[in-house]
Amino acid sequence: MNQRTFKSLGLLGALALCNVAPLAAHAEETAFRPPAVPLVACDPYFSVWSQSDNLTEAMTTHWTGKQHRLAALVRVDGRAGRLMGAGPESIDALKQTSVKVLPTRTIYTFAGHGVNVTLTFTTPALPDDLLLLSRPTTYVNCEVSSADGKPHDVEFYFDAGGELATDRLDQQVAGATELVANAVAIRLGSTSQRVLNRSGDDIRIDWGYLYVAADKRTSPKTAFGKAEDLREAFNRDGAVALKGQAPTFPVNADQVVAAVAMTLGKVDTSPVSRYALIAYDDLYSIEFMNHKLRPYWRKDGWNAGDLIEAAVNEHDALERRCADFDAELLNDVRQAGGDAYADIAALAFRQCFAAGKFVADDNGQPLQFSKENHSNGCLATSDVFYPMAPQFLLFGPTLTKSFITPFMK
């Protein structure tokens, strides 16, 4: 690949993440710490980040800074430990030992309770496959191995807050089960479902549906409820505490989470892994020239069930493809500018694709709309796509055309 292009990509990263500079100097003594760590980085509405040094120190947020809770727990020999999420304090946080941001993955490691844990957030944003790139899905992979040489009984829990499907915490949501051939899935969405009713700054989506799912072969359990209640129940009783229970809907968004839990069985020094899937179906993504446009992944008639089924079917293959892509891209970038340059380029890659939405026009052709941060809610503006251009140019003419066309029209 062209080194000049990589230098442009690095400039993009420097511009987009200029507030990294004070931390970069410190990175010579400690591991590089980005200003915010991408967890779910799919598009401007489905965009969850960690702004704390440790994943258990604070609630995760939407990129606008508003509360968008994600939580993860691991239960070892009947005792739970927090991997993600600030509470409840009655459950100890496992010690975080590292965090690394890569082009398609964010990898955290933890130690405690006699085990080592790797929590990997994989958003398969592979630019050579536009349908895949447009999918609003992220895998939350939990890999556990024994640290003390002894076997341990291990279980994994994940939840996502109702506010991921609303603009405000006091908006009402309702939950339901989604029937998927190869997965157990539940969903949350606002009761109003006013599709494409908002524009402007500091807003979040309040139409469409948030999905939490897991591979049916792992016998996952699901439930809706208050975050603290479900997490403490998991600590006390394990995955079986999730029995399909739910509050009387509708409820305020901040009063409910969608949770999934599963067992890993007896774990020794050989790693064992499970994963949860988080996805969002916005139904319609953009109104452009008085036309409501579908997300690009829906262009051939897919619905949320198809999205989840494909994600589960392709999990193992996509994890391998993402690992290979990350290694290849970062190797090229390091050759052009070294390790610090690679750190910035990985963040720039995540930020660029999370800043836009791929939709299908009336002919099924891809369009990509990038969103400005707190600037009149504008989309597809030259001052955004100009610094993004090196990344799109690097990965081919189809990507480049997709984000230039809306501006030219």
pLDDT digits (tens, 9 = 90+) for 277-321: 999 999 999 988 889 999 999 999 999 999 999 999 999 999 999
Residue 180 has pLDDT above 70, yes or no: yes
Which residues, at least 6 apart from 248, have a Cβ–Cβ distance to it below 8 Å?
A: none
Q: What pLDDT score was predicted for residue 10? A: 44
Q: Which residues have CB under 8 Å from 327's CB, separation 6+? A: none
- In single-letter form, the type of residue at position 259 comes to A
pLDDT in the model for residue 42: 97
Domain borders along the chain are 32-345
Q: What is the pLDDT of residues 188-235, one digit of tens each?
A: 999 999 999 987 788 999 999 999 999 999 999 999 999 999 999 999
Q: Are 80 and 157 in contact (CB under 8 A)?
A: yes
Cα separation of 316 and 181, whole Å?
A: 18
By DSSP bridging, strand 221-225 and strand 70-76 are unpaired
pTM above 0.95, yes or no: no
Mean pLDDT, the chain, integer: 91
**CA gap 25, 337 in Å, rounded:** 16
According to CATH, what is the number of the domain 32-345? 2.70.98
Cα-to-chain-centroid distance, residue 182? 21
- Does the pLDDT of residue 154 top 90, yes or no? yes
Q: Where are the beta strands (DSSP E) in 123-205?
A: 137-146, 152-161, 172-180, 183-190
Residue 51: Cβ-neighbour burial (10 angstroms; 0-12, 13-18, 19+): middle
Question: How much is the pLDDT for 4?
Answer: 40
pLDDT-derived band at 403 (thresholds 50, 70, 90) equals confident
